[in-house]
Structure formats: structure tokens, C-alpha cells
Chains A and B, each alone.
Chain A
Amino acid sequence: MPMPQHHDKRAIVVGGGLAGLAACVRLAEQGVPVDLFSMVPVKRSHSVCAQGGINACNDIARQQGYSEWEHMDETLYGGDYLADQPPVYEMTHWAPRIIDLLDRSGVPFNRTMEGMLDLRLFGGSLYKRTHFSGATTGQQLMYALDEQVRRAEAEGQVTKYEFWEFLSPIIEDGACVGIVAQDLRTMQIRSFRAQAVAIATGGCGLVFGKSTNSVMCTGGAAARCYRHGAWYGNPEFIQVHPTAIPGADKCRLMSESARGEGGRVWVPRRQGDVRDPRQIPESERWYFLEEKYPKYGNLVPRDIASREIFDVCVNQGMGVAGENQVYLDLTHKPKEELDRKLGGILEIYEKFAGEDPRVLPMKIFPAVHYSMGGLWTTFTPEERAADPIADRAAGRDRVIGMRYGAPNTMMTNIPGLYALGEVNFAYHGATRLGANALLSCIFDGLFAGMGIANYVADEAPDVGATHQSVFDDAVKREEALVDRLVGESRSGESDATDNAYKIARELGVEMTAASTVVKTGPRLRQCLEKIDELKARYAKIRLVDSGMWTNQNLSFTRNVGDMLVIAEAIALAGERREESRGSHYRTDFEERDDERFMKTTVARFNPETARPEIEYRDIVVGLVKPRARTYGKVEATVPEANADKTPPTGENPYSDRSVPREGTSDEAKRPPTPTPSS
């Protein structure tokens, strides 16, 4: 079908995961040629790691009483009311359409006997609303979009720059007019013009050393935008998954189902006991979760599990073999039962830990998993009539979503510079529900992609007329940085014992200890001092490799500089937020404080001091009022005086369940914990 062509106008997408690929396909369809930049072949992007699934309301759940509105409510509740509400409304209401599109695109979703899409239950909901494709849903969704981009590439609408690294946005008269990027093979640095630039580069797990993230998830691209004036929202909100397999190179997820099937968490009672765990008698094992939480035992909610494991290892030094690890023991279960119920996940453990979890207890530890925070983005709210089906639980006539096609959709504070997917701060608030990540990434690409196309067509400055010197100067600045790093390595004869790899390791250890599961003001201030020390050391390091062909050392060293910048924003924002909310848990401020902190943290980089400046912005609400986030925990006190009641819900004529929907009983109906994606 004929499309308007904007021959003289183009868009740049940086990052080829779900968000970036979805944006490419949308822009190409709208007739905007795209230059797609990625440090890796896009098919190898981090989105492939997602296993669990993608949430969306569906026909069956709808007939059981579920709705898009409920999906929105769960997402806001799970995120502890830190997210702006209209974007969450729009995302959850688009979700069923996104599933249809993926289905049409050939994703091999699991099927029922009738050939319909099969569904699974995920945390944070009572309804089956998670679509999945084997144990590799992220990979399958990625490939479907990768294939559509390949088609657009074959048709000449998308040009890929793979093994290219984004170095900086080019900003002229306050608007983004292009980027500087480097070919990671030839090491050539050059500029690219575009009417709009979309950053879709994912999270910053590597700031914490070993995380569940892929090796390119340094946060480098976000840091470079932040350094050039883009605001960074909610940096302190980092999701930690309680059970990961600590590896020598990274951490890999271990599904919660291992505990669900009877796995017991323990450490030796004697500190530093290095005996074979099979030789340690029952009386010398400390089942600390069962001891502290007799009611929930090993199945305490994830955030509690993470905190207890962390406390036992980091604060008490009781981890197995003195390391940050505890046993997750299934060896008391019959082998055939384990194989039948947990075969797939036990094989993953066996493959990467090299030990048979049917014979030896697994060693696990919480691991950084997802960045809720990221580049600050905006949108255009749109008030409209409530949908009689999707919003039947809303109990209201009017709702607020996002205006489709508005050019500012997911635009940063810099016109023409967008942020899509995990790299932005929208949607997930203070913590993310499992199987919402894939949704938010694809939604961003498809929905905001239309806004970007409109910006390119109607609002972007005449980038073609921008003087060439603007682009040349931007290239020279980046070349100067490389010359400085390489030049230093060539001059000076002193022994180069310090390097970026060492600094990255120390940063990871420090950030994991101070700014993940349990935080306190004093510890975060200590962490900020450590970051200062590392920054000072970073300023003096030399490149180990000064060659100018496929110099990974240069790329990594540059990224470590950016990781230090992001780390400082994370730690400082965490120190300033004197409350506990979602993933952010302060032992010195254990309560959620809506009065002071139901606000978005905005970190701005001050180029004079090279430090972040923190301020707070009001959250866009208007759909649901905050409730206490207890997930039915019996001992939790619900501050009814402060907690506004949920809006009354409409009767559901199709529901075959009677679910109480008022006050605390509404809380009680929820399962014990939100499920970070696994």
C-alpha cells in the first residue's frame, strides 16, 4: 500500500532489541527511512534472554472477570504508584493488539488443542494473562521483529550499522539533529544526520558487576545522553531477582518454581564451614527463612527472600564458603519427581554451574535484573470515554491515556531525542511485574514510533540545513577523547597496573553491596565516596590496547567511564530518597512516604561539577489512588486512614468467580508477591 515518503528525512534508532526493532518497523511502515545502530548484530540483543512471557488481557481471562483496566491496576500497584498513570493505561490497553500482531508475525506461541494461544499464570495476578513461547519467549518475540526489520532492510527502508557504538547525540539549538558513532571494527568515528534519534539500548546491569544482563548492558548510551543534558528518571530503582545462579562471569536466573516444588534455603551454621554440603548434618544447617518466617517458610515474597539472603551473606558473613551464596536444596526430593516437574530448569543449572542439583544443593544469590529507572520521557495525556469492556472495572466514565501519534511521546527533555524500552523510566514505577518488560518494549516501539514519524514529518528542524561544522565538531570531540585515552597509553613508561577492568570490578562489588537489596543513608554516602575514588583512578588509567582495529579495550574503557556516571546518579538518588518503595528498601526509612516521595526523581548532570543534581517532579495520576502494597501479607498493617479506597468496581456479568473487591480484602486476594520476569 502506498505510503508517504520522506526522502530527505530520516530517523536513527540506537539499539536493536525489542523496543528498537519495533520502532524500526513502525517508522519504515510510515515511510521514514531508518538508520539502525547496534553494538551487536541486532538478532543477538539482550531481549533474547527473557524467558517467562508477555502479559495481555485475553478472551478467556476477560470471561473470568479480568480486563485491561485490571492489568493496568496490577502494574501500578506492583510499581508502588511511582509510575505516571496514563502511559500504563495505554500500554495495558494496547497489549491484546500487540499479541495479535506478534501472532500474525509468526511467533510460535504455545497452543491449546484447539490451536488457540495458550496462557500461563504469572505473579501479580490471579488470572492467566501471560502468553509464552516455550522457555524462550523473549528470543521468539525478538526474532519475529528481527525478521520484519530484515524485510524492511531488503526493501531498502532500514540500513543497519551493526558493530557500531553510539558515542553521543548531536544537539544544535536545543534539538537533537544526529549522532556520533564509532565502527567497532575499523574504529572509524563519524557523524550521522537525522531528524529524530531514538535510544533503545536497554538497562545498566553491568554497573553492578555481575547481573543477569548481557555484556553490552552498561548503560553507556543512556549515560552519554544524560551527560549531554537529557534527564535521568528514578535511577535508584533497580530490580533484584532473589534467586540467580552466581557464575564467574555473570548471574543466571533460577526460576522461583524450584522453591515452589519444595526447595529449602540454608547455610551451614558454622561460619566458613567448607565441608561438602552432603556431609553437614541436619542439626548444623541453618534454614534461616523457615526459622524467621514459619508461616511462609521458603516461599516468602521475593523482596523479603532477597533481603534475608543478602543479610545472611553480606551483613553476617554466613554465606556458603564465605562467599555471597546460599544453598537452595532439592536433594531431599526423589529424582524422578524433580525430573518430571523441574527438568528444564535443573538442566540450566547443570549446564552453567556444572553440578547436578539432584545430587548437590544449588548455590544461589540475588542478582540485579532490571532497571526501572532510565532516561526521563514525556507524553501527551488524552482524556477520553472509558471503554465499556476494557474499563468495566474502572467505575468511571472518563479515563486518561496517551494521545497516539503525539510527537512528544517518549521524547526526552531534548526535542528529537527519544528513549524507548528499558532505557526509559516509564511504565514500571518502583518495581516491575513479571512479563511486563517485553510488553513495554514492544509497546514503546510501536506506539512512540508513530509519534517519532510525526515529529520527523511535521516538527523536526531542517536538519539538512544544519551547518556541517556542527557535525564535524561533534566528531572531533569524540576523537579527542579517544586520543586522550590512547595517547596516554603510548606516553609514560610507568607500569600500568590499574585498568578499566579492575575499576569495573570494584564498582560492581561496591554498588551491589551498597545500592541493591538493602540500603541505608550512611552506606550510600560511603558508596559515593568510593565512586569518587574510582572516578579519580579512572581519570589516570591507560588503555591496555592502543591498536586501532577492533579495539574492545577502548570501547570497554569508555563504557566504564559512563558506568561511573550512572552509578553516581543511582547512589545519590538512593541516598536522597528517604523512604522504602518497591525495589528501593531503606532500613533507616522503612515506610513508604507518599507525602514527600510519591514523586519522580529527576537527575540532571551538571557539566560544571560533573555531578548529578537531584530534583523531584509530580507524578501524573488521575486513574487509581495509591493503596498499601502488601500482597496479602498477614502481619502487614494497612494504614486505612491514609489509603484511599480503590474506585468501586462495576459488576462483571461474565465472572464465574466472586472476588471481594473492597479495602483490605482486595489486598488479600492477591498472590503473595509480584514476579519479576524470569
Chain B
Amino acid sequence: MVRESNANAMQLTPGAKRTVRLKIKRCDGPGKPSYWQSFDVKVAAGEGANIISALQDIAANPVTVDGQRTTPVVWDSGCLEEVCGSCTMVVNGHVRQSCSALLDNLAPVDGDVVTLEPMSKFPVNRDLFVDRERMFATLRRLNAWVPIDGLYDLGKGPTEDPDTQQERYVLSTCMTCGCCLEACPQYEKETDPAKWDESFVGAFAIGQADLFNTHETGGRLKQKRLDELSRRGGVSDCGNSQNCVKVCPKEIPLTKSIAKMGRAVTVHQIKKFFTGK
């Protein structure tokens, strides 16, 4: 993924204060118009200030650069360790988690401006907070689970060679953040849930289909997943821009999964044509 270098931060004198201006695209609720507001925050170098701490400072004193007292900016966040996916937003034009967006790197000079926008591929709930329910709905549709026989004590699971485990592990670090969808030219915003099934599923979903198809028990639902990926909005809708793999914060080899699932879908369709099942 793209990360700014720490070179800027290394030049700063620890503890030195500077002002960073946050220019934030705001929206009061679904269907309401967007507008911009700017806030200044004081930042001390070398203290790990990030977008989150800046937004927290604004919440404690929500006054714009014009001196206008306003409402605290609304944003989504959780773990702040880049493992839950909540705080994803568009920072200076690039989609990423805001918790790992450090101001010493992004805005090292006094007066630097950082622009924050909500992701554009999901309906805005308010300000920087978007509704990603479509991603979870896609996981339901893809049967993204291992169909175990139940919670009873039924002994050990299937053995697995370490290489396969490593492949699955990387796929399984997908935190449903949506970066790959924001960067994808084929993935479009769709506010009507009735149309979700016909629209492109996106790279994360193809990676998850790969994850479960690769597991011995998970693979028992392979045909169902390939059926879903064969439909309109399935794997063939991918335009091969390869943006997904560039923005994935977990460096998941999504294009590899897309290629793999693409081949599997082709074989699945040919088999279906000849056998009817």
C-alpha cells in the first residue's frame, strides 16, 4: 500500500508546536448537501498526533477557523490500531485508515492543510461516517463461513499444510474496511439494497470467496460461491485496474484471488454447461 515516508517527521524537533489545518467535507445526514469546514489544531512534533487525535481535539472545542462555534465532526472509529477497519476515510485524496495517518508525516510544516472526506462509494451517514452494510450483505450472499456441524465436541479440524495456512491467513486479515472498493473504477455507490445483488461485489468479496473455498470444510460451499461470482456483478466485472491491491492496508494479494476465482468461475461454468449442475 501507499504510505508516506517518515522522512518529514524525522526533521522535526520533538515537542515543537505547530498549527495544522483540517479541511473537512461535512454533511448533516443522508440526502443533505455537503459543505466544507476548516479547523486549526495545535500539534506537538514527535507525540504521535494523528487524524483521530486531531478530530478529538476538534470535538472538545468545535470552533472553525472563522471563529464559528459548530457541532463536533462525526466520524467512525474503533480499535485505533488499524485492525478493525472502522476509521477508513479519504485523507488528502487517498483512502486509508485515519488512525495510522500521522500528522508529523502528513503535515510537518506549520500551516499545512490536511483534507478529510468520507468514502465516496458508500452512503454518508453523517460527516465522515459512512454506511458499509452492503459489504456485510455481500459476505452473507457469498456464504462466507465454514459450514461446521455445530458447536458440539466433534474432535479436531482438518490438518492443513503451513503454506496453505499462510495463504489463508493473509486473506483472513481483511477487515472489511472498503479501501479496495473506494479505489475500484468498477465498484459504484449503490444506495438501493435491492440492487446490491446485481452490482459488482468488489475485490474484498472475491478474496473472501477464495479464503473459504481454500479451506477443506469451507470448500463444501464452493459451488454456491462460484454461482454467485458467475452472476452479473461477479468476478468478470473486474476491469483489472489493480487499484485494489495498491490501496489494501493489509497488503492482501487481491489480484491473485481475482485471477484464481476468475479461472474457477470459468471451469465452473463450463462444467455446468456440460453437466447441468
Contact = CB atoms under 8 A, between A and B. Distances in A.
A49 B81 contact: yes
Contacts of A143: 172
Interface of A: 1, 25-26, 29, 40-41, 43-46, 48-49, 97, 100-101, 103-106, 108-116, 133-134, 136, 139-140, 143-144, 147-148, 150-151, 153-154, 162, 185, 214-216, 245-250, 252, 274, 276, 321, 323, 350-356, 359, 446, 499, 501-502, 505, 544-545, 547, 549-550, 552-553, 556
Nearest to A353: B48
B212 to A, nearest CB: 7
A248 B148 contact: no
A48 B159 contact: no
A553 B73 CA distance: 9
Contacts of B83: 48-49, 136, 139
Contacts of B78: 40, 44-46, 214-216
B46 interface: yes
B153 A100 contact: yes
Which of A1, A104, A276, A499 is most buried by chain B, counting CB atoms within 10 A of its CB? A104
B126 A550 contact: yes
Nearest to A325: B47
A489 to B, nearest CB: 11
Nearest to B147: A151
Nearest to B216: A106
Nearest to A252: B81
B236 interface: no
Give chain B's interface residue range (CB within 8 Å of chain A): 35 or more
B56 A276 contact: no
Which of A116, A355, A556 is most buried by chain B, counting CB atoms within 10 A of its CB? A355
Interface in B2-31: 6, 9-10, 14-15, 28-29
A471 to B, nearest CB: 27
Contacts, number: 210
A249 B165 contact: no
Contacts of A544: 59, 62, 71-72
A112 B165 CA distance: 10
Nearest to B60: A501
Interface stretch (B97-105, B109-117, B194-202): B97-105
- When A and B form their complex, which 3 residue pairs have the shortest distance between CB atoms, in order from nearest? A115-B159, A248-B53, A103-B157
B154 A185 contact: no
A252 to B, nearest CB: 6
Interface of B: 6, 9-10, 14-15, 28-29, 46-50, 52-53, 56, 59-60, 62, 71-72, 74, 77-86, 99-100, 102, 104-105, 125-126, 129, 132-133, 136, 139-140, 143-148, 150-151, 153-162, 165, 168-169, 172-173, 175-176, 212, 215, 217-218
A215 B77 contact: yes
A552 B172 contact: no
A551 to B, nearest CB: 8
A151 B141 CA distance: 10
B218 A354 contact: no
A109 B80 CA distance: 24
A215 B156 CA distance: 36
A359 B99 CA distance: 23
A245 B62 CA distance: 28
A249 B99 contact: yes
B146 A147 contact: yes
Contacts of B176: 41, 43-44
A139 B49 contact: no
Given A44-B84, A150-B139, A185-B125, A106 B215 contact: yes
A97 B48 contact: no
Contact of B162 (A111, A136, A150, A246): A111
Nearest to A160: B136
A44 B48 contact: no
